[in-house]
Amino acid sequence: MEDAMRSFDTYTDLGGAGIGGALPPATGGMIALSPRVSAPGFTMDFGRNEEIYGQEEEADFVYRLVAGVVRTSRLLSDGRRQVVAFHYPGDVIGLEPGDVHTLSAEAVTECRVALVKRRSLERAAERDNGAARDLWALTARDLQSLGEHMMLLSRKGAAERVAVFLLQLAERTETDRLELPMSRSDIADYLGLTIESVSRSMTQLEREGAIALPSARRVMLRNRDALEDYAC
Amino acid sequence: MEDAMRSFDTYTDLGGAGIGGALPPATGGMIALSPRVSAPGFTMDFGRNEEIYGQEEEADFVYRLVAGVVRTSRLLSDGRRQVVAFHYPGDVIGLEPGDVHTLSAEAVTECRVALVKRRSLERAAERDNGAARDLWALTARDLQSLGEHMMLLSRKGAAERVAVFLLQLAERTETDRLELPMSRSDIADYLGLTIESVSRSMTQLEREGAIALPSARRVMLRNRDALEDYAC
DNA sequence: CGTGAGTTTGACCGAACTCAAATCATGTGG
DNA sequence: CCACATGATTTGAGTTCGGTCAAACTCACG
């Protein structure tokens, strides 16, 4: 049983202690955003649902996620929320064209991020041509992932979207036993659905044998083909 | 009457002749993609619904739209089409991260584009740091516009989406008398709706006095506030 | 004037939303 | 260790809005 539990463990490569109380204090040093871009910076820890940066805030920093899961989202005029992306260790977030964040970022799980001053990146890009190219590549990756997300949102059925979401997650973590770090509400806002629709879709996928749901936050992919049929 | 018609005219800054038969042949010379990026290239003309480049095609060229309107779109697995953006003169299209196009581009109206070899841009970016920054900015702009489009798609109501679409268009062309270059089908695929829903929304907006529809392709914004209420 | 593509309108249906209630999970204090 | 409180998730019933199918209409063009 212990083993089964362990195999769901993920998202923190900081060792068994977890992130939270008993961590070493924020550290300073050189932060690498990409192979060619590194700059002086420091790390910070955030608890669940804490805001890392806010929509409309000055974009003074760029962040590299060291451990944990982060969501970026945007508040719509009618009060609803659009979750734009979930980020995992290694991802760079907060790198935006303008000098004001168009998104906000919050910790889904407890997490640790490495901060780099935006200005020092700009200076690096002026000096070093390779660095400039890396920053471009990071923006290009965001563009691509946003495009894929839009594809997902333009799918018809609720179950389809949930199926694709689960497959995406399985690909990220390279396992069929998913530990969902995010709530139904996060998933719903990511997929453009309500929590009820997400829940019903999950149940439906389970009824059809595509997945198993040992608990709400735990999903096992039982029949990948069935899921991929939904993805069409 | 002649004047009224004229005031709907737009999208071509090539003069009265229009684009099509009686044009000078494709020309060569230096093409400017941005203030700091220009490279040798040539121009080409396309008729309505002609493909400029196709999804999955080698991305050998980058294009600057000189005259006319272009849509970029993506075919979904279930056969439907997602129109990603409408482009107007001055826009740069076809600049994508990878070396394969993830979108296709088609002429909505007859149009003329200036082509630049992708490789010559890459070379320019290696030499000139300002050029690299401009290319980054172009990608960043795409990212931003895609983000705004996603906001639009995540709106609830059909009429809301159509209202926002019309306001966007009015902003682009800086007039309240819109000549829609694109078909209802294009609009529907852009907004994630059916042509019937687009049509019904238009009619509804007209009934409520927000717009007038002298003809299907002609929209006059009668009550901007009412439209902005929809945009909320 | 006829033709055909594009657009509008109507009737019906179904999927997702809304509101409400039941259930489950988790942590707390006795 | 258990009872309880709280929040998250699931389930149910009814409604709404956009999709689907079909038919009428418009307009540009030959």
Average of per-residue pLDDT across A116-138 = 92
Exposed/middle/buried for residue B16 (C-beta within 10 Å: 0-12, 13-18, 19+): exposed
Please tell me the predicted confidence (pLDDT) of residue B26: 59
Residue B64 forms beta bridges with which residues? Answer: B92, B114
pLDDT(B10) > 70: no
Q: Is the four-CA dihedral B89, B90, B91, B94 of positive or negative sign? A: positive
Average of per-residue pLDDT across A122-142 = 92
Count of CA atoms in the C-beta half-sphere (13 A) of A155: 23
Grade residue A140 by pLDDT with cuts at 50, 70 and 90: very high
What does the alpha-carbon distance between residue B103 and residue B110 come to, in Å, rounded to a whole number?
20
A151-166 pLDDT tens trace: 999 999 999 999 999 9
Tell whether A143 is within 8 A of chain B (Cβ).
yes
Q: Which residues of B touch A97 (CB under 8 A)?
A: 137, 140-141, 143-144
Radius of gyration of chain B (CA): 19
Average of per-residue pLDDT across A45-69 = 96
B97 with A143: Cβ contact below 8 A: yes
Mutate to test the interface with A, among B139, B141, B230 (most CBs of A within 10 A): B139
Grade residue B221 by pLDDT with cuts at 50, 70 and 90: very high
B120-149 pLDDT tens trace: 999 999 888 889 999 999 999 999 999 999
Average of per-residue pLDDT across B198-211 = 98
- Phi and psi, residue B34, nearest 5°: -155, 170
CA-closest candidate to residue A68, choices A94, A42, A86: A86
Residue A40 forms beta bridges with which residues? Answer: A30
Residue B58 forms beta bridges with which residues? Answer: B100
Instruction: Report the alpha-carbon angle B101-B106-B110, nearest 5.
Output: 145
A209-222 pLDDT tens trace: 999 999 999 999 99
Write the DSSP assignment of chain A as a string of letters: -HHHHHTT--S--S-TT-SSTTPPPP-EEEEEEETTEEEEEEEEEE-TT-EEE-TTSB--EEEEEEES-EEEEEE-TTS-EEEEEEE-TT-EE---SSSB-SSEEEESSSEEEEEEEHHHHHHHHHH-HHHHHHHHHHHHHHHHHHHHHHHHHT-S-HHHHHHHHHHHHHHHHT-SEEE--S-HHHHHHHHTS-HHHHHHHHHHHHHTTSEEEEETTEEEES-HHHHHHHH-
Grade residue A232 by pLDDT with cuts at 50, 70 and 90: confident
What mean pLDDT, rounded, does chain B reach? 90
pLDDT(B159) > 60: yes
Q: Which residue has the higher pLDDT, B232 or B106?
A: B106
**A24 vs chain B: nearest CA distance in angstroms?**
37
Task: Check if residue B194 sits with its Cβ under 7 angstroms from strand D.
Answer: yes
pLDDT(B11) > 80: no
- Phi and psi, residue A161, nearest 5°: -60, -45
What does the alpha-carbon distance between residue A208 and residue A210 come to, in Å, rounded to a whole number?
6
What does the alpha-carbon distance between residue B46 and residue B215 come to, in Å, rounded to a whole number?
26
Average of per-residue pLDDT across B8-13 = 56
Average of per-residue pLDDT across A10-16 = 52
Q: For a pLDDT cut of 90, what percent of chain B falls above it?
A: 78
CA atom of A6 to C1′ atom of C22, Å: 32
Please tell me the predicted confidence (pLDDT) of residue B198: 98
Count of CA atoms in the C-beta half-sphere (13 A) of B86: 22
Please tell me the predicted confidence (pLDDT) of residue B203: 98
Instruction: Tell how far CA B157 is from the center of its chain.
Output: 23
Grade residue A29 by pLDDT with cuts at 50, 70 and 90: confident
What mean pLDDT, rounded, does chain A reach? 90
Please tell me the predicted confidence (pLDDT) of residue A25: 57
Instruction: Report the alpha-carbon angle A66-A145-B101, nearest 5.
Output: 140
Grade residue B15 by pLDDT with cuts at 50, 70 and 90: very low
What does the alpha-carbon distance between residue B178 and residue B156 come to, in Å, rounded to a whole number?
24
Record the pTM: 0.92
Q: At B225, which helix (H) or strand (E)?
A: helix B224-231
pLDDT(A184) > 90: yes
Q: Cβ atoms within 10 A of the Cβ of A176, count?
A: 15
Instruction: Report the alpha-carbon angle B157-B8-B202, nearest 5.
Output: 20
Q: For a pLDDT cut of 70, what percent of chain B falls above it?
A: 89
A84 with B147: Cβ contact below 8 A: yes
Tell whether B79 is within 8 A of chain A (Cβ).
no
State the amino acid at position B84 in one-letter form. V
Token pair, residue A90, equals 């290694």
pLDDT(B92) > 80: yes
Residue keyed to tokens 């609009």: B187
Please tell me the predicted confidence (pLDDT) of residue A69: 97
pLDDT(A61) > 50: yes
Residues whose CB falls within 8 Å of the CB of residue A133, separated by 6 or more in sequence, listed in order: A36, B125, B132
B186 closest-nt by C1' vs CA: C6
Mutate to test the interface with B, among A142, A190, A230 (most CBs of B within 10 A): A142
What does the alpha-carbon distance between residue A65 and residue A63 come to, in Å, rounded to a whole number?
6
A147 with B84: Cβ contact below 8 A: yes
Q: Are B110 and B48 in contact (CB under 8 A)?
A: yes
Grade residue A2 by pLDDT with cuts at 50, 70 and 90: very low
Spell out which residues of B between 38 and 67 contact strand C, using CB within 7 Å: none
Q: Cβ atoms within 10 A of the Cβ of A40, count?
A: 11
DSSP at B194? -
Three-state SS letters, B137-159: HHHHHHHHHHHHHHHHHCCCCHH
Count of CA atoms in the C-beta half-sphere (13 A) of A222: 13
Q: At B220, which helix (H) or strand (E)?
A: strand B218-221
Grade residue B232 by pLDDT with cuts at 50, 70 and 90: confident
Average of per-residue pLDDT across A130-140 = 93
CA atom of B184 to C1′ atom of C3, Å: 21
pLDDT(A86) > 70: yes
Q: Cβ atoms within 10 A of the Cβ of B230, count?
A: 21
* Helices assigned H by DSSP within B94-194: 118-127, 129-153, 158-173, 184-191
Q: Which CA distances in Å does A70 have to A89, A91, A201, B216?
A: 9, 10, 24, 46
A132 → closest Cβ in B82, B133, B151: B133
B154 → closest Cβ in A135, A144, A153: A153
